[in-house]
Amino acid sequence: MALRFKNSYTRRKDDFVPIEDNKVKVYTCGPTVYNYQHIGNFRTFIWGDLLRRYLLYKGYDVTYVMNITDIDDKIIRDSQAKKMPRKEFIEGYVKAFKDDLDSLGLMRPDVQPYATDHIDGMVKMIQTLVEKGIAYEVDGNYYYKISAFKDYGKLANLDMGGLKHGARVASDEYEKDSVSDFALWKAWQESDGDIFWDTPIGKGRPGWHIECSVMSSEYLGNHFDIHTGGVDLMFPHHENEIAQSEGCSGEKSVNYWLHGEHLIVEGKKMSKSLGNFYTLRDILDKGFSGMVVRYLLISTYYRQQLNFTFDGLEAARSALERYNGFISNLESYAGADSDGSADAVIEKAKSGFEDALDDDLNISGALGAVFDFIRDINRLKAEGKLSAEERDKALETIKKFDTVLNFTYQTGASDDIDEAEIEALIQKRADAKKNKDFALADKIRTDLLETGIILEDSREGTKWKKKIG
């Protein structure tokens, strides 16, 4: 059977056919960097990584884009509450996010664009929508006129019958019962402080939805293969993305929409607003490794809810020990006489693994095939029926599986800080200031900030501290 995905747009399992030969273009809505991501967020990013790795396993050439939402209502609210400039406020969380990706064994995205680097593109898209009569301005705010887009509501399966024409919603997040014209651009207001962009459509800032439409088309083109995210993004975020992108280009934007179910805690979505969340750091502090968290979060089919428990983490730890123990024991196994049955065991494992993942990334089936394989090879070993040559084939097989599962990675010491180097940079910055080279001085400060180091100037000189955590 061919690779197929449950497509939220068609509500069917559709065979996967890339737009262009062997190339697959994937866009994933990335983090909103106003806080640490919790492990619920990472569940979504981890099955995105599974998708990407399985496409690579199948030989596709994959371009994987994940944006960073570095401007939205919540970022303004929280950076102001902390009295920090927006850029400084978000950088610590961007760095933390990238470190967390490493701890969890995710491949870094091929492109990870910041929304605020694409304001020009957003302005152009809004201008096009206005020219086409799909967007309109009220007091410097721009809204999307949903009645002008005939397919509005198709993704989230909305009943558009009771639509109140002309109703508008300004906030980035809202529920289905407030379906209405939504904000593309928000005019500056006093409460925004110094957070604004001066543009041909006025002084203000973009709405959240337009950000993803612009970044996806910038890096993947108007029409690309797969878009992923958690179910909570289906409405309004993805519905609005489709309306903006397709309204602007006149083309279909995305062929396959994949939405993952939530990580839940005692029946409720893990979320920042409910306060029932754990960050990855919380879990690492309790003595679990990133890989154990990876195992737990990856091991349930993405379209099924996963209930988070510490027992689940313990079970993940045992499964990983079995998996890694199998590989190291096999590596040191000398080999015996073959009874010729290993080939069939390997073939069965491969087809079990691939058939399951081909079926909308059915990971439980794939892991079932992997653990059956471990049991069967261990039995052959114990019975003295596995030759050295078969051992090598078995190792090659599990290592190929591991390119998808990634349960053997080493976590880098990304938290290591070179204090001498920081002190040297602080000195270089002081010298730059003395020479009135303020551009260089600023650059040193922002470069350090990117690595999670914050500088504090005082009469006694400059001190540094780790950004967050």
In this structure, the number of other CB atoms found within 10 A of the CB of residue 12 comes to 11
List the x/- string, 154-193, binding to Zn ion by CB under 5 A: ----------------------------------------
DSSP 17: -
Residue 313 is a binding residue for Zn ion (CB under 5 A): no
Nearer Cβ to ligand AMP, position 41 or 240? Answer: 41
Q: Which stretch binds ligand AMP (CB under 6 A): 17-25, 35-43, 141-149, 317-325?
A: 35-43
Beta carbons of 263 and 43 less than 8 angstroms apart: yes
Give the whole-angstrom CA distance, residue 157 versus residue 291: 37
Residue 29 is a binding residue for Zn ion (CB under 5 A): yes
Nearest distance, CB of residue 218 and Zn ion, angstroms? 13
Residues numbered 104 to 123 that lie near Zn ion (CB under 5 A) are none
Distance of CA 369 to the CA centre of its chain: 27
Residue 229 is a binding residue for ligand AMP (CB under 6 A): yes
Nearest distance, CB of residue 186 and ligand AMP, angstroms? 18
Nearer Cβ to ligand AMP, position 271 or 462? Answer: 271
Residue 242 is a binding residue for Zn ion (CB under 5 A): no
Nearest distance, CB of residue 48 and Zn ion, angstroms? 12
Q: What are phi and psi of 413, to 5 degrees?
A: -85, 65
Strands 453-458 and 181-187: unpaired
Beta carbons of 450 and 95 less than 8 angstroms apart: yes
Strands 254-260 and 224-230: parallel
Map residue 28 onto helix, strand or coil: strand
Residue 212 is a binding residue for Zn ion (CB under 5 A): yes
Q: Which amino acid is at 426?
A: I
Beta carbons of 171 and 74 less than 8 angstroms apart: no
Q: Residue 43's binding partner, choosing from Zn ion, ligand AMP, none, with beta-carbon cut-off 5 to 8 A by kind? A: ligand AMP
Q: Which amino acid is at 412?
A: G
Q: Residue 467's binding partner, choosing from ligand AMP, Zn ion, none, with beta-carbon cut-off 5 to 8 A by kind? A: none
Residue 230 is a binding residue for ligand AMP (CB under 6 A): yes
Q: Which stretch binds Zn ion (CB under 5 A): 28-36, 180-188, 357-365, 398-406?
A: 28-36
Q: Residue 212's binding partner, choosing from Zn ion, ligand AMP, none, with beta-carbon cut-off 5 to 8 A by kind? A: Zn ion
Q: Residue 156's binding partner, choosing from ligand AMP, Zn ion, none, with beta-carbon cut-off 5 to 8 A by kind? A: none
Q: Which amino acid is at 141?
A: N
Q: Is 188 left (phi over 0), alpha (psi -120 to 50) or beta?
A: beta
Angle among Cα 278, 283, 284 to the nearest 5 degrees reads 140
Q: Residue 232's binding partner, choosing from ligand AMP, Zn ion, none, with beta-carbon cut-off 5 to 8 A by kind? A: ligand AMP
Which of these, 156, 154, 183, 153, lies nearest to 168 by C-alpha position?
183
**Binding test (CB under 6 A) with ligand AMP, winner from 263, 293, 369, 444:** 263
Residue 262 is a binding residue for ligand AMP (CB under 6 A): yes
Beta carbons of 394 and 346 less than 8 angstroms apart: yes
Q: Which stretch binds ligand AMP (CB under 6 A): 108-116, 267-275, 431-439, 443-451?
A: 267-275
Beta carbons of 197 and 119 less than 8 angstroms apart: yes
Residue 156 is a binding residue for ligand AMP (CB under 6 A): no
**368, two tokens:** 């079932």
Residue 113 is a binding residue for ligand AMP (CB under 6 A): no
CA atoms within 13 A on the CB side of 119: 19
Give the whole-angstrom CA distance, residue 444 versus residue 383: 63
Q: Which stretch binds Zn ion (CB under 5 A): 25-33, 273-281, 407-415, 455-463?
A: 25-33
Q: Residue 248's binding partner, choosing from Zn ion, ligand AMP, none, with beta-carbon cut-off 5 to 8 A by kind? A: none
Q: Which stretch binds Zn ion (CB under 5 A): 26-34, 164-172, 360-368, 441-449?
A: 26-34
Nearer Cβ to ligand AMP, position 169 or 336? Answer: 169
**Binding test (CB under 6 A) with ligand AMP, winner from 5, 7, 24, 31:** 31
Q: Which stretch binds ligand AMP (CB under 6 A): 41-49, 53-61, 153-161, 354-362?
A: 41-49
C-alpha distances out from residue 117 to 3, 133, 223, Å: 36, 27, 21
Residue 276 is a binding residue for ligand AMP (CB under 6 A): no
Nearer Cβ to ligand AMP, position 233 or 377? Answer: 233
Residue 215 is a binding residue for Zn ion (CB under 5 A): no
Strands 202-206 and 197-199: antiparallel
Count Cβ atoms within 10 A of the Cβ of residue 46 and give its class: 0-12 exposed, 13-18 middle, 19 or more buried: buried
Q: Residue 141's binding partner, choosing from ligand AMP, Zn ion, none, with beta-carbon cut-off 5 to 8 A by kind? A: none
Residue 232 is a binding residue for ligand AMP (CB under 6 A): yes
Q: DSSP labels for 16-80?
A: ---SBTTEEEEEE---B-SSPPBHHHHHHHHHHHHHHHHHHHTT-EEEEEE-BB--SHHHHHHHH
Give the whole-angstrom CA distance, residue 196 versus residue 206: 9
Q: What are phi and psi of 169, to 5 degrees?
A: -125, 130
Nearest distance, CB of residue 217 and Zn ion, angstroms? 12
The residue ranges that bind Zn ion (CB under 5 A) are: 29, 212
The residue ranges that bind ligand AMP (CB under 6 A) are: 29, 31-32, 40-41, 43-44, 229-230, 232-233, 262-263, 269-271
